[in-house]
Amino acid sequence: MKMASVKLKRQSVFESEKSCLESCNNNDSEEDPPGKRSISDDLDDEPPSRIATTRYRFFRDIPDSLWNDWKWQFRNRITRVEQLAQFIPLSTEEQAQLRLVAMRYPLSVTPYYLSLINPDDPDDPIRKQAIPSPMEMTMGSMGLEDPLDEKKDTVVPGLVHRYPDRVLLVLTDICPMFCRHCTRKREWRNGGWVRSPAEVEAMLDHISRHKAVRDVIISGGDPLTLSTGHLESIISRLRKIKHVEIIRIGTRFPVVLPQRIDNELCSTLAKHGPIWLNTHFNHAREITPEAAEACDRLLRSGVPVNNQSVLLRGVNDSVEAQTTLCHALLRIKVRPYYLFQCDEVQGTEHLRTPVEAGIKIIEGMRGHTSGLAIPTFVIDLPQSGGKVPLQPNYVLAQTEGELVLRNYEERVFHYRNPAKLARTESPAEVLCPAGSATANVPQEAAATLG
């Protein structure tokens, strides 16, 4: 079905949004999910040059003041299949299928992220991350609900303590978008919760009592769905715990709702540093001017931004897609940090790739671009096994004194492997022992020394 043929009821979005904004201003408790509303527009008459971003095609009546207001974006998330069908061509049968999927794995997309989708391409890489697929159900028996066994390591509600020096703090299960590949999609049906003050106290108390904890990761659901004031009240408490050295925030807001990264948030984070922010760009088309500006605001506030992408079938599972993504990240000064093998989560099997695909991508990048552009490809092991980095194998053979290595061009090199030293010997003692210039020096090295 062509978008031009879709007939929609036109409604005065602007007028209804004015009243929505007013009601939001009267109630500033952003941690409660704002109400869900429908947005529709006439899809006709759009010049083809604007297909790259559909903001002006779908949201023509929305002025910049609302479009750039993250609370407006959040309140106007698309959460029902009927709403979605106003933007994406979906047959009646497809809509029925998606309704079934959404009953198990709900739908939520911000207008901003929706505007990045090319509605005329069913294989659009942005669409695959946001729009449900019937395969979430047809392949839904494969995988596990909680593949990382986070429940097992949960010490108090919302606090996962698996490694001695790090904890994961989950403050809410609310996200601006439900990413179809999410590891925690099991949480989506729980209706949107925010940890109560008593639960936060219990988490802080646990961290205070465990002096080995030097790194606190605040992650999702997305913690930036909380109001800046609420977030600050928790971060400032964490900062008072002397052994907590760094705080990391895991958020997809720079990707799906970059308007959230406003000056108020950035100055708050700047006050309580060192805070690191890990985000989750999966495709170069997500790096829009708005996303770039959001990252720039963070960086200027002294918050380093790293990217953790997930390898997804049909989204970014080629050398070209990953290289383009990583180059685009470097241009906005975001470091490509991890490339995750998609976890074996129920409802994501259709997006998972064979492990070999990730290794081949790294192999296709290594040597062909700067090492700074190459993320570490990792599998997060099930049953609390932790992260394991996977690399192409460059070692063709190894003996005690030598390695045979191939490089990125498949050229073979012999590399002399220095002999192991006994524990008590320093390199200086080996090369210049008392009484002899070459005593204890391996034969090859002695020959070199002459």
252 is written with which tokens? 């997809």
Q: Find out whether 65 and 55 touch, Cβ atoms under 8 Å.
A: no
User: 380 catalytic, yes or no?
Assistant: yes
Q: How far is the CB of 27 from ligand SF4 (least distance, A)?
A: 24
β-bridge partners, 398: 403
Q: Which residues contact 307 (CB under 8 A, 6 or more apart)?
A: 278, 279, 280, 281, 329, 334, 335, 336, 337, 338, 375
**Listed ranges 153-161, 178-186, 235-243, 347-355: which one lies at the site for ligand SF4 (CB under 6 A):** 178-186
Q: Find out whether 73 and 32 touch, Cβ atoms under 8 Å.
A: no
- Could you tell me how many residues make up the chain? 450
Q: How far is the CB of 420 from ligand SF4 (least distance, A)?
A: 45
Residue of 20, 24, 179, 342 marked active site: 179
**Listed ranges 146-154, 216-224, 312-320, 423-431: which one lies at the site for ligand SF4 (CB under 6 A):** 216-224
What is the DSSP secondary structure assignment for residue 381, as one 8-state letter? E
Task: Find the binder of ligand SF4 among 71, 75, 161, 184 (CB under 6 A).
Answer: 184
User: 335 catalytic, yes or no?
Assistant: no
Q: Is 252 near ligand SF4 (CB under 6 A)?
A: yes
Q: Is 178 near ligand SF4 (CB under 6 A)?
A: yes
DSSP per-residue string spanning 92-138: HHHHHHHHHHHHHS---B-HHHHTTS-TT-TT-HHHHHHS--THHHH
Task: Kindly state the number of chain residues that form the binding site for ligand SF4, as judged by CB under 6 A.
Answer: 10
Taking alpha carbons only, the member of 6, 76, 4, 90 closest to residue 37 is 76
Q: How far is the CB of 79 from ligand SF4 (least distance, A)?
A: 13
User: 184 catalytic, yes or no?
Assistant: yes
User: 387 catalytic, yes or no?
Assistant: yes
Q: How far is the CB of 178 from ligand SF4 (least distance, A)?
A: 5
**Listed ranges 65-73, 112-120, 217-225, 383-391: which one lies at the site for ligand SF4 (CB under 6 A):** 217-225
Residues 415-444 that bind ligand SF4 (CB under 6 A): none
Distance CA 311, CA 357 (A): 9
Residue of 175, 295, 326, 342 marked active site: 175
397 three-class SS: strand
Q: Is 175 near ligand SF4 (CB under 6 A)?
A: yes
Q: 27 to each of 22, 259, 276, 421, how far by Cα in Å?
A: 9, 20, 30, 68
Q: Is 182 near ligand SF4 (CB under 6 A)?
A: yes
Residue closer to ligand SF4 by CB (options 73, 365) is 73
Q: How far is the CB of 181 from ligand SF4 (least distance, A)?
A: 7
Q: Which residues contact 7 (CB under 8 A, 6 or more apart)?
A: none
Which parts of this chain interact with ligand SF4 (CB under 6 A)? 175, 177-179, 182, 184, 220-222, 252
Q: Hey, which residues are catalytic here?
A: 162-163, 166, 175, 179, 182, 184, 343, 380, 387
